[in-house]
């Protein structure tokens, strides 16, 4: 059950698109010598971001997905991260870009990177659309970040609250309406 809430726009679709164009330029430069970049989206929150990002990349990419357990239907992060669905491809000796929606405590990204690093990729970089630095517990930072945001619960552009609002074209902030 979710409490009643409204959503205030925080980052517009236009601002997100402009930032992705910028980031894609930096990624292309970093991986300029790559034969084929493996872009790994972390399900489910990164599905909109990865779709827009790869279309700006203008280079050879292979798209793969990995699902790690995190919030479930709640707003609480869990420190114990489990892999629910692994990538399909081999990454040994390959160039890999991990795409995350939000780095919050950082436990999810830290765990995923540990697992992927153990498979000996040639390069392993990360991009997160959003970063909440004030919430960090694990010592981790994405190579590229779209936007740093305050400690607010956000939805839209692939990101959910209890499986709702993933299809909003912008990032919005959840405000509970029965707050006293």
Interface residues toward ligand IMP, by CB under 6 A? 45, 70-71, 77, 100-108, 153-154, 159
122-134 core/surface letters (b: 16 or more CB in 10 A; e: else): eebbbbbbbbbee
Q: Which residues are catalytic?
A: 104
Dihedral in degrees, nearest 10, Cα atoms 101, 104, 108, 109: 70
Of 123, 124, 72, 133, give the one whose Cα is nearest residue 99.
124
Degrees (nearest 5) of the Cα angle 174, 175, 177? 140
SS3 content of the chain, % helix, strand, coil (to 5): 25, 35, 45
Host H or E run for residue 112: helix 107-117
Please give the structure tokens belonging to residue 155: 């939805």
Give CA–CA dist 83/110, Å, rounded: 12
């Amino acid at each position: 059950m979710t409490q009643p809430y409204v959503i205030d726009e925080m980052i517009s679709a236009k601002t997100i698109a402009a930032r992705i164009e910028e980031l894609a330029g930096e990624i292309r430069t970093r991986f300029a010598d790559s034969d084929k970049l493996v872009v790994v989206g972390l399900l489910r929150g990164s599905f909109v971001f990865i779709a827009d990002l790869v279309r700006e990349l203008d280079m050879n990419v292979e798209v793969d997905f990995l699902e790690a357990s995190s919030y479930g239907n709640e707003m609480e992060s869990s420190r114990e991260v489990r892999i629910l669905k692994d990538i399909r491809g081999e990454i040994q000796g390959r160039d890999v870009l991990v795409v995350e929606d939000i780095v919050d405590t950082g436990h999810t990204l830290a765990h995923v990177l540990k697992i992927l690093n153990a498979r000996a990729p040639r390069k392993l970089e990360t991009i997160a659309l959003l970063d909440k630095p004030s919430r960090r517990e694990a010592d981790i930072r994405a190579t590229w970040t779209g936007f740093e945001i305050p400690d607010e619960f956000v939805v839209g552009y692939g990101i959910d609250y209890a499986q709702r609002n993933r299809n909003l074209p912008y990032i919005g902030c959840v405000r509970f309406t029965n707050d006293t």
